Chains A and B, each alone.
Chain A
Amino acid sequence: MSGHPPSTYEPKTGIERWLDARLPIVRLAVDLMDFPTPKNLNYWWTFGGILAVCLVTQIVTGVILAMHYVPNADMAFNSVEHIMRDVNYGWLVRYIHANGASMFFLAVYIHMARGMYYGSYKAPREVLWLLGCIIYLLMMATAFMGYVLPWGQMSFAGAVVITSLFSAFDQVIPGLGTAITTWLWGGFAVGGATLNRFFSLHYLLPFMIAGVVVLHIWALHVPGNNNPTGVEVKSKQDTLPFHPYYTVKDGFAIVAFFVLFAWFVFFAPEALGHVDNQTPANPLVTPAHIVPEWYFLPFYAILRSIPQKLFGVLAMFGSIGMLFALPWLDTSKVKSMRYRPSARIFFLLFVATTVLLGWCGGKEPDDMVMTMGHTATGDPTGFSVVWFSRILAVYYFAYFLLVLPILGLRETPTQVPANISTPVLGGAAMPAGSAAQAEKKG
């Protein structure tokens, strides 16, 4: 059983019937609220709702910031400080927006990891997953351009480093990369024209994200939710109406998430930022240590782990490209890793690898993971960050290209339950009542 059941909406008044015959928007809302949702969704499933709230928060605060921000190379930095000092509650709006980006990525990474663990990308949800990957790409572009807008030193350096990635295409067709970067910059260097177009695009992309989110939800409502067992919904006993069961559960999770969010906004608003971005951009002075925001660090580490620029760039884009190919790389028919003990270990290693890549991305390539000696000038020698990132990057790609394709063919999954309401525990079917009791703790 999947998809929307027959609509239960009955227009009661004349005006409702009139509208329903012309634009059944009330029917749509009622049907969405009635949507049959698996009854065994755990808290990892609340991050979809959390992300929707994150997007709305970013758009609302962003629109307000845009009323006061000036996208001009000479005025941008001070206009941001003007928001912090003279606009009523401007500090609040800006801190919500700046930390909101980090919260958005935190939530999206949890959301993606949940999808990867429970096999939510597998048939019949490939398009749902692909749309999610597109949202993630748009988010990265939006966040990158947003970070440039305060026009601090790290904004500027980040804009230079990222846009210059495209100059690697000079190694494919001489002149191509330079032409692309000049086109992106709107000149021969990152400058006022770059800032102004980044502002325009930073305002545009969130609305494109919102559009793809609508498609993402549509694609969710065709097959319905996956669930922790990975077993498709079989009967009405497996589901609950979305409202009030999941509105209240998501609502609780959203408010709990807000507690963390508010901690950063009110008590540690600069903790996730970088001090160099508090100095206005100066093209003649390069920060000693250029680092992106934390949510880009794993990809930055992959980029730097390859000395040849073009291959570094390709590896970085490839690491995100893997996500798009994921539904066809995983050969296992079993969705949830609950029933794939070996896959579970490889997945946890993958998560650890990504976190460690992020750690590497925040360090200098020549920093030591393990110091074994010193050179004549006192520089440490040993196992360096760049080598550590190389090893981690190899596993990152191997997880997609070797582990998932091969494991699915070779592993022996444990017994998958016949349906959501009577899951199998300890390999043997249990009477329905006791199974329901035991499942409560999961």
Chain B
Amino acid sequence: MGRNTLIAALSAALALAGLSLPASARTTQAELKPVPGGFTFEQPVFGRFDQGSLQRGYKVYAEVCSSCHAMDLMYYRNLCQQNGPFFDPKHPNSNEAPICKAIASSIKVPDVDQDTGDATQRPATAADKFRNPFPNKIAAAASNGGAAPPDLSVMARAREGGPQYIYSLLTGYVSPPAGLTVPAGKYYTPYFPGDLGSAWTGAKDKVPQGGFISMPFQLSPDRVTFDDGTKSTTDQEAKDVATFLAWTAEPKQTERKEAGLAVMIYLLLLAGVLYVSYRTIWRNVSH
């Protein structure tokens, strides 16, 4: 009841704010960093994921991000599906692909004992969802200073700039400018959207861009050892995990672009045929 009343009050306030009041908070963030080499997969027609980068990105997620961030929309089998990080044409059924079975079986997921009903743990299968690091949202928030780490499944689609935002955020930690009071347990980054006015003691028109984030800097060099021998720098780790998250946000992206090419060629040919038909049928009409 209390929660419903709160939601009703907030909805009403939101409605009023949306209608009559100008937004009072001035949320700012710095212009995103250029990514060395760029994200070629973002090219709308011919952009494709680099499978090596996806594999390295999954490793960064598995060894770093996954200790706090869930990916509720992802299943281990997804890693082995067509155009996925570990797709192998010899194993078109992603549930049966040995790599995915091996990845899954090394991870324990919670289950319920079918005889006793007790909570138990068992090795995951390829058909299981990515393990959630916390049993529930409250536990996730409680272990992280009150803010549950957001689910990363569609993160690359849920922020302006997508993978470039993720890259900028992960590599963009800098020491706060003098005059900015960073609250305990928070970190300053110019790329996290926020309004730093109240924490700023300098000139009123010089409020720094960016915000405070609860996540400390993670991707130090060599935090993850890449299996393919790629040098593990902060840039490389961030670029690869951003690529991986762009893939998880839309695993069917490559299928979409490939189908699009065929559809475009078909439509243009059909349009040509119809135009010629139109000119032929109308050739004797003065109009």
Q: Which residues of A contact B (CB under 8 A)?
A: 39-40, 78, 81, 84-85, 91-92, 95, 157, 160-161, 164-165, 167, 187-191, 240, 244-245, 248-249, 251-252, 255-256, 258-259, 262-263, 265-270, 275-276, 278-279, 283-284, 286, 288-290, 303-304, 307, 309, 312, 364-366, 374, 376-379, 386, 436-437, 439-440
Closest 5 CB pairs of A and B: A266-B260, A378-B205, A164-B15, A436-B286, A278-B158
Residues in A with CB closer than 8 Å to B255 are: 91
The CA-CA distance from A92 to B258 in the complex, in Å, is 12
Stretch of B30-38, B100-108, B114-122, B261-269 with 4 or more beta carbons under 8 angstroms from chain A? B261-269
Asked if B14 CB lies within 8 Å of chain A CBs, one says: yes
Subset of 17 A-B contacts with CB under 8 Å: A39-B285, A39-B287, A85-B252, A91-B250, A91-B252, A161-B18, A161-B19, A252-B271, A265-B260, A275-B160, A289-B23, A290-B18, A309-B19, A364-B23, A374-B205, A436-B287, A439-B286
Contacts A167-B15, A376-B205, A378-B205 given: A267-B45 contact, CB under 8 Å?
Answer: yes
CB of B3, distance to nearest CB on chain A (Å): 9
Contacts A378-B204, A436-B286 given: A283-B15 contact, CB under 8 Å?
Answer: no
Asked if B229 CB lies within 8 Å of chain A CBs, one says: no
A255 partner, pick from B45, B206, B270, beta carbons under 8 A: B270
Residues in A with CB closer than 8 Å to B193 are: 288
Count of residues in B whose CB is under 8 Å from the partner chain: 63
Q: Which residues of B contact A (CB under 8 A)?
A: 4-8, 10-12, 14-20, 22-23, 25-27, 44-45, 72-73, 78, 153-154, 157-160, 162, 193, 197, 204-207, 249-252, 255-257, 259-261, 263-264, 267-268, 270-271, 274-275, 277-278, 281-282, 285-287
B11 partner, pick from A190, A251, A436, beta carbons under 8 A: A190
Across the interface, name the chain A residue whose C-beta is closest to B18.
Answer: A161
B4 partner, pick from A157, A189, A307, beta carbons under 8 A: A189
Extra contacts besides A39-B285, A262-B263 (10): CB < 8 Å = A95-B256, A160-B14, A160-B15, A164-B16, A187-B4, A255-B271, A259-B271, A263-B264, A379-B26, A386-B22
Across the interface, name the chain B residue whose C-beta is closest to A254.
Answer: B274
Residues in A with CB closer than 8 Å to B205 are: 374, 376-378
Decide: A266 and B15 in contact? CB cutoff 8 A. no
Contacts A252-B278, A267-B45 given: A286-B17 contact, CB under 8 Å?
Answer: yes
Decide: B158 and A252 in contact? CB cutoff 8 A. no
